[in-house]
Structures are given as C-alpha cells and as structure tokens.
C-alpha cells in the first residue's frame, strides 16, 4: 500500500441531512475513482461504508465510517457521517478531523434541518466547505431551488462550479464553470468533453463572472487588480480558488447524479485541485504535560502526534482505534505515548480502512488517517504522541443525552453478560451514557433519541447475544414538608433485664427548595449525653429515606434537637436511633408532607412553522414556555416541563414536525406536584406496596 505525503492527502467529511444521498454519493465516487470494483448501492445494501447489519436494514448511516480513493496521485480520505437527528452528534468528530466538508444537499428538497445543524458544527471547527447537490436526475429536482435555499440559510459566498446540462430525467452532463468546459458521462462515469451548449450560455457566463469576482474579493491585491482590469486571467483565478476555499471565503457547488454518475469525475478532479490539504492549517493547538499551551504543524518533520476520533468494537478484529496523524510520521510497531492516560502503547500494524476492510500500510505521514487494532488503553478522544515531546489535544464534546430508558436483562444469563457488552458499545459510541439511578436503583441507557437507544438494543442482541427490555424510567419523585412542628420521639422497652430508653424533642422546619437536610444540636446541658445525639440524627435520616406519603426520599427540611432525657442503664445508641425514627413519624402527622417532582429545562429545535404546535403541546404537558430564539430557519423553544410528562416526547415531536425537530433536556429543579396528580402517585405507590410500614421498635 502506497504512503502519501501530506500535500497529497485530502480529508473530507461527508455531511448533510438524512436521505440527502451522502452514502450513495460516496459509494459512487469510489466506483468512478476505481477504488472499488463494484458499484455499491444503498437500496441493495452493498455500499462500502454502510456495512453493519443495522445500517443495511434501516438504510441509514448510524455512525462514522471511512473509505478512501486515489485520484491523480492524491489520496482522498472520506468520512461518511449520519444525517438523522438521533445520530447527528456522531458527525462532530468527523468535522473535527477533516480538512474540508462535503455538504450534500438533495436537489429536490434543498437545505434541510440537519444540514443546518452540521453546518453549525463546521462553523464551530472553522471547516472549509464544498457543496454537492445530488439527485438532479429526479423529478422536481432543480439546482436553482437548492441554491436559493443555501443562500437563504447560510448567507455566504456560495457559487456553482458546475452547472447541469438538462433537467430532471434529461440531466446528462455538466458545464465546468472554472475551466469553461462541458462534459457528458458514460455508464461508468467517464467524462467526454463536448462544446458548451448555446442554450443557457448566458447563465454560464454570468456564473463565471461572479466566480471571478468572489475570488478577487478573497484577496486585497487581487481585488485591486480586478478593479483595474475589470476581470482576472486564469493565471490569477485558478491558483487562488483553493486559497479562497481554505479561508472559507468561497463555497463551490457541484451538480451531480449518483445514479447515472453524471458530474462525479469532475467533482473528483476539483477535490484534488481545490480542496485544502492538511498543511493548509496554521497549526493544531493543545497543551503540554504541564498544562501550558502547545502547538503542532501538519508536517512530517514535527514530533509525532495523533488524535483518536473513532473506536470500533469489531466482533472479529477486536477494538479498532481510528486516528488522524496530526504531526510527524509513524511506522509499523512504533511505541508511542498516550498523553491523555499517561501510558505507553505499541501500535503494531497500521491500516487504512475501506469500509470494514483493513489494509496494512508501512507508514503514515502527517495529515493521514490510520487505524490500529487491539490497543490496550486508547479510547476515543485520546492523544497519542512522542513521549519526549508531549501534547494533549482537546477531545470532541458530545451533547448530553436527550432521552433515557430503563434497561432490564430478560434473563439471569443476559444479566451476567450485559456489563461487558454495554462497556464495548460505550467505547464505540461516546454519545451514549449508561448509569444507575441511586434512588430508583434502575439501570438507565441514555442516547440522542429513541431510535438511537433502540439500535443499541438491536446491537446487544445481534452482536453480543444479550436480550434486554426497555421501559420508561421511573420518575425520581421526592417528598418534603410544608409546615413547622415541635414533636417528641420517645422509645421505651422493658422485657426483663436491661431495657431500652431514648427520648428526644425536635423541631422540624421546611427548607428552601434544594436546601437538602440540616440537623442542628440545640441542647444546652446534659439532658441527652453527647455520645447519643448523633444516633438521633441517624434515626431521622433512616426514616426520611423512605418518605412519609409515597415511599420517596424526604428532602429540604431542617431538624433542631432541643431537649430529651435518658436513663443511666437502659439508654444506648440503638434506643436513641429508634427515638429519632419515632420523632420523624410523629412530625409527619403535623408538618403536611408534600410530593415533589423533577422539572426539566427543555430546548426544542424545529422549523419555525411548527413552533405554535410545539408550544401548545408543551403547555398540555404542564410545561411553562420560557422564551424562543431563532437560528436560521430554526426556532428554538425553551420551556420548563415536569420530567413525568417528557418520557414519551420524542415520538410526539416526530409526529408534530415530520421528524424534523429535535430536543434536549436537563434537570433544573424540584417543584410540588399538583394535588390531583399527587393523589394518583400516592395511590399507585400503595398499590405497588412501595410505602414502607413504620416498624415498631
């Protein structure tokens, strides 16, 4: 396998909305470039990058996948990314390590909501972009409509580099506006040059003029020359197109069909000619071993460093770590330093990835993407480097999980295997979280959406033979008190021989929400010996853990120990703990306990036309709308909603927005439950036998 210099590498993240045609575009590009002998098709489940069972069955990309092609002595690394809302966060690491984004837009639908989201990722990482309008051979497809939507949403210098010849089913060629040439394409995607058609020539000429103007605007010296001459020669235009794209001052647009292969050969030519190579970066920033700022240039002469952006739990090859070499070079069997975990790693063989296929390479230079098998410690987000020249790069941050399900093994056998299986899946998918709720004792699997979690359940069954059941998590209600009361807790037992005696007087008071539990010893003198007083607090805490009305923990209250009495012989720690529990139970008869529910901060992101329906639905869920923001064509509705009302929200939101909306929520605070609802919760707790009967001491 050939080793490529940094300048001969292009790294492109293929990003866009679900169903825009990203995976098919990549498969068709690989075929036209000769990287794959067979033309893979999404409908047939034969594409290079959608090789997992779930992706083939659902016909959607579920995680990052890699492929590469050689074209004109240049290696083009493609990173295929998901476009559906539940998996869109997986596009972030691809955008982080790519040098250019290949933004795919459906020619019949224009820019869609998830395209806007990944465009935002690209803005965050300052990633240059190239736009590809696909499906132009389909009914109702129109480059003009797609361009209009792109101009409205993205508001930047977007300009066609190729224009279509023919429309819809008659789309059979393109005009290369940069080189002013026209082509048709055969069934294998090979280009044949033709004369530029006279029909529509005025559009070609105007587009070319606009291109020259945008290139001139990207450089002050060129702008001055453009004003003097009224135009620019090719000698000025062509070398500066790549610079303008790399500086994000120009976004070229390409017209293609991935089913007839029209326009793909020209796209490959332009990727080699104009897409930025890794060396266009000034440098990559990180921190050294002392936490001070450090940088590395994308150069093979720098000390070695690499960033691991993907981990694959392959059932046959084991764990595969995919990384981008940022600086220096690395060879087979190299020993490197994992600066994120302070440990050494031996890399073994280096590989390139063509879908699921691993091909060995002897060496990799700065800018290239490689995979290593069975590393001991390295995980997604880690930095590998030369131990003598340490650096740590910031890992990609994933958004918090939007929805959680309680997960329950179907059998004892599944229970024994689930921990190992979940651990492997978490290595592969950092957007997931797996936790145990301390209050409800449930295991919670949380992800970006319901479909995300369901795919993990499928993977557990198919890959690891672990069957689990999902159900909505129990809501972690709490209880509190609403009034002040002074009570006595007296424990006395005489059964022959030494007895039991403990006596305390306490004041119970409500605390502000979030105040927790406060215990104050206000006894002056020796009515209760010092060594017994902590036992009273323990007794109250034990009783509070089981609540007063529905079996939920009681919080946000203060207890003052003000008096008590003891017996020289019969008093001990156990007796005073029992006295504390009795004081609690006596207090609950006077302090009017109430039920509290968790309130979530919710943000719903959807096209503006759905905002009225979204607010109406949130109000019906006892939500309080806090405000709205506008991001492009997207409306962000902010609200506070009880957690109990959000457990089935994903499916409702999909129904309201035709699956174009997404939401995120996080805990805000606890509020009292309305009395009618509280009565139902208390009755349900009684029916389930969760209310603990007070023990007799």
Correct CATH for 6-197+250-280 of 3.40.50.2300, 3.90.190.10, 3.40.50.300, 3.90.1150.10: 3.40.50.300
CB atoms within 10 A of CB 531: 11
Identify the pLDDT of residue 155: 67
Tell me the pLDDT of the chain averaged across its residues: 91
Structure token digits, residue 380: 């997604």
> What CATH architecture is 596-682?
2-Layer Sandwich (3.30)
**Class for the domain spanning 479-592:** alpha beta
What pTM, to 2 d.p., does this model score? 0.79
Correct CATH for 284-385 of 3.40.50.620, 2.40.30.10, 1.10.150.530, 3.40.50.300: 2.40.30.10
659 has a pLDDT exceeding 90:
no
pLDDT tens digits, one per residue of 399-453:
777 678 889 888 888 877 888 889 889 889 999 988 887 777 888 898 887 788 8
The two domains 403-471 and 596-682 share their CATH topology (first three levels equal):
yes
* Cβ atoms of residues 82 and 14 within 8 Å: no
> What CATH architecture is 403-471?
2-Layer Sandwich (3.30)
> How far is CA 254 from each of CA 12, 41, 119, 136, 199, rounded to the nearest angstrom?
15, 21, 17, 11, 20
Please give the DSSP secondary-structure letter assigned to residue 392.
B
- Say how far apart CA 198 and CA 195 lie, in whole Å: 9
* Cβ atoms of residues 77 and 367 within 8 Å: no
Identify the pLDDT of residue 398: 86
Mean pLDDT for the stretch of residues 348-375: 95
pLDDT tens digits, one per residue of 6-59:
999 999 999 999 889 999 999 999 999 999 999 999 988 899 998 887 788 888
pLDDT tens digits, one per residue of 193-215:
999 999 999 999 999 999 999 99
Identify the pLDDT of residue 632: 60
The strands making up 517-521's β-sheet, listed across from edge to edge, are 485-493, 500-510, 557-565, 517-521
Domain boundaries, the chain: 6-197+250-280, 284-385, 403-471, 479-592, 596-682
């Amino acid at each position: 396998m050939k080793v490529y210099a940094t300048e001969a590498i292009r790294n492109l993240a293929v990003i866009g909305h679900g169903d825009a045609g990203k995976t098919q575009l990549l498969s068709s590009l690989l075929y036209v470039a000769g990287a794959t002998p067979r033309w893979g098709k999404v409908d047939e489940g034969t594409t290079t990058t959608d090789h997992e069972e779930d992706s083939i069955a659902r016909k959607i990309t579920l995680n990052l996948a890699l492929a590469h092609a050689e074209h004109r002595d240049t290696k083009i690394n493609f990173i295929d990314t998901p476009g559906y809302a539940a998996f869109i966060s997986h596009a972030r690491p691809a955008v982080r390590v790519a040098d250019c984004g290949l933004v795919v837009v459906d020619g019949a639908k224009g820019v869609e909501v998830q395209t806007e989201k990944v465009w935002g990722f690209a803005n965050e990482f300052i990633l240059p972009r190239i736009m590809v309008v696909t499906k132009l051979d389909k009914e109702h497809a129109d480059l003009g409509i797609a361009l209009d939507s792109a101009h409205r949403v993205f508001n930047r210098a977007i300009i066609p580099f190729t224009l279509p010849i023919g429309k819809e089913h008659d789309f059979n060629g393109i005009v290369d506006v940069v080189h002013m040439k026209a082509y048709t394409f055969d069934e294998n995607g090979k280009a044949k040059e033709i004369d530029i058609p006279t029909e529509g020539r005025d559009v070609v000429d105007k587009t070319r003029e606009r291109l020259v103007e945008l290139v001139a605007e990207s450089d002050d010296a060129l702008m001055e020359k453009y004003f003097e001459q009224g135009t620019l020669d090719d000698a000025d235009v062509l070398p500066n197109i790549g610079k303008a794209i790399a500086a994000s001052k120009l976004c070229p647009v390409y017209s293609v069909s991935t089913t007839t292969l029209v326009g793909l050969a020209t796209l490959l030519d332009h990727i080699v000619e104009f897409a930025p190579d890794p060396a266009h970066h000034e440098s990559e920033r990180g921190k050294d071993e002392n936490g001070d700022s450090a940088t590395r240039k994308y150069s093979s002469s720098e000390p070695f460093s690499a960033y691991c952006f993907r981990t694959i739990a392959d059932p046959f090859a084991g764990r595969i770590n995919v990384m981008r070499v940022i600086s220096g070079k690395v060879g087979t069997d190299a020993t490197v330093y994992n600066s994120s975990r302070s440990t050494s790693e031996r890399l073994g063989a280096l590989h390139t990835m063509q879908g699921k296929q691993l091909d060995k390479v002897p060496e990799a230079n700065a800018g290239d993407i490689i995979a290593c098998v069975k590393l001991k410690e390295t995980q997604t987000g880690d930095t590998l480097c030369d131990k003598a020249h340490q650096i740590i790069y910031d890992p990609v941050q994933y958004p918090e999980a939007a929805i959680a399900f309680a997960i329950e093994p179907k059998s004892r056998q599944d229970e024994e295997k689930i921990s190992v299986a979940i651990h492997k899946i978490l290595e592969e998918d950092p957007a997931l979280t797996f936790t145990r709720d301390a209050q409800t004792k449930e295991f919670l699997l949380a992800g970006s959406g319901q479909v995300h979690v369901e795919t993990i359940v499928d993977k557990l069954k198919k890959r690891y033979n672990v069957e689990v059941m999902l159900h909505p998590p129990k809501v972690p209600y709490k209880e509190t008190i609403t009034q002040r009361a002074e009570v006595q807790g007296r424990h006395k037992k005489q059964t022959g021989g030494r007895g039991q005696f403990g006596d305390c007087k306490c004041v119970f008071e409500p605390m502000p929400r979030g105040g927790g539990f406060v215990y104050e010893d206000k006894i002056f003198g020796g009515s209760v010996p010092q060594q017994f007083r902590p036992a009273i607090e323990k007794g109250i805490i034990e009783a509070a853990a089981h609540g007063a009305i529905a079996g939920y923990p009681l919080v946000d209250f203060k207890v003052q120990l003000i008096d008590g009495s003891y017996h020289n012989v019969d008093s001990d720690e156990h007796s005073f703990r029992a006295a504390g529990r009795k004081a609690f139970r006596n207090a609950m008869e006077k302090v009017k306990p109430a039920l509290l529910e968790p309130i979530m901060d919710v943000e719903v992101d959807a096209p503006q036309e759905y905002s009225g329906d979204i607010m109406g639905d949130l109000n019906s869920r006892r939500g309080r709308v806090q405000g709205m923001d506008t991001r492009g064509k997207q409306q962000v509705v902010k609200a506070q909603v009880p957690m109990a009302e959000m457990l089935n929200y994903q499916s409702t939101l999909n129904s309201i927005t035709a699956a174009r909306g997404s939401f995120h929520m996080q805990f805000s605070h606890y509020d009292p439950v309305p009395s009618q609802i509280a009565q139902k919760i208390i009755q349900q707790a009684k029916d389930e036998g969760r209310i603990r009967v007070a023990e007799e001491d």
